[in-house]
Amino acid sequence: MNSTATQVRMIRQADLIPPEDTGAAIARPACVLLMSGGVESSTLLYGLADTDQIHPIFLDYGQRAAVQEWRAVKRIAATRNITPRRFDLSAFGNAVGALRTERYHVPLPHRNFVAIAAVASIASNLKVHEIIIGLTADDATADPCSRLPFQRAIRDALASLSLRLDTPYDGLTKAEVVKRGCRLGVPWETSYSCLLGRAEHCGYCPQCQKRRAAFTAAGVSQQDVRYNR
Ligand SMILES: [Zn+2]
């Protein structure tokens, strides 16, 4: 068996989260972690052990909140003494978005499809075989790229490239991720979820509403970030 096959087999034996949710980080192979600075990717970053070789990746694809999201990624990564990388796909995102007359907060249809392809390229050049993305069970009800058939197909496609896609939170709701993040000590005030890209969360866009609902459902009493309403 060649070294790449051996490495992939080793990677397949690792799991990010232990079967019982202890909130403790466990060691795993080197990985690329797609980050947006929101609840899920921040919790994933804190769920990885200090000993892991973690490559946080941020993609600017022309989303309205790109500046604030990147700022959040840098701040959260800094609390773990990790330097994230930003990749600028904004020209592509803006050009695709310009094909429509309406303006959307997120310009790319099938965004996760594009993001996974981009991260696969990045991982290959970093010689990393593990890609981690913070999809939740809630995402699977809304986004076709987060549903099981697509996930199964994209996993198979990546496996043919000796890459492994791991979505450790795909069985959890956003509220359950919040609970896990609280146990891991995620500094929520540094994270960012709003679609509008203002300095403070607007409080009424779909992402702000999901965030607030998740924190309420998780029973987190303190205000995690400031909302404008
Ligand atoms: Zn908002």
Q: Domain for residue 18, yes or no?
A: no
Q: Please tell me the distance between residue 215's alpha carbon and the centre of ligand 1 in angstroms.
A: 15
pLDDT reported for residue 144: 82
**CATH number where 183 lies:** 3.40.50.620
Q: Please tell me the distance between residue 125's alpha carbon and the centre of ligand 1 in angstroms.
A: 35
Q: Is residue 105 pLDDT above 80, yes or no? A: no
Q: Select the more confidently predicted residue: 134 or 7.
A: 134
Q: Please tell me the distance between residue 197's alpha carbon and the centre of ligand 1 in angstroms.
A: 8
Q: What is the pLDDT of residues 45-94, one digit of tens each?
A: 999 866 668 999 999 999 999 999 999 999 999 999 999 999 999 999 99
Range of the domain at 61: 29-217
Q: Domain for residue 225, yes or no?
A: no
pTM for the model: 0.84
pLDDT reported for residue 224: 64
Closest among 156, 138, 159 to 209, alpha carbons compared? 138
Q: Domain for residue 226, yes or no?
A: no
Q: Domain for residue 210, yes or no?
A: yes
Q: Please tell me the distance between residue 63's alpha carbon and the centre of ligand 1 in angstroms.
A: 13
Number of folded domains in the chain?
1
Q: Domain for residue 17, yes or no?
A: no
Q: Please tell me the distance between residue 68's alpha carbon and the centre of ligand 1 in angstroms.
A: 12
Q: Please tell me the distance between residue 135's alpha carbon and the centre of ligand 1 in angstroms.
A: 19
Q: Please tell me the distance between residue 228's alpha carbon and the centre of ligand 1 in angstroms.
A: 9
pLDDT reported for residue 143: 76
Q: Please tell me the distance between residue 138's alpha carbon and the centre of ligand 1 in angstroms.
A: 18
CB-neighbour burial class of residue 1 (10 A; exposed 0-12, middle 13-18, buried 19+): exposed
If you write DSSP's letter for every residue of 186-220 in order, what string do you get?
Answer: --GGG----SS--SSB-S-SHHHHHHHHHHHHTT-
Q: Please tell me the distance between residue 66's alpha carbon and the centre of ligand 1 in angstroms.
A: 13
Q: Is residue 137 pLDDT above 90, yes or no? A: no
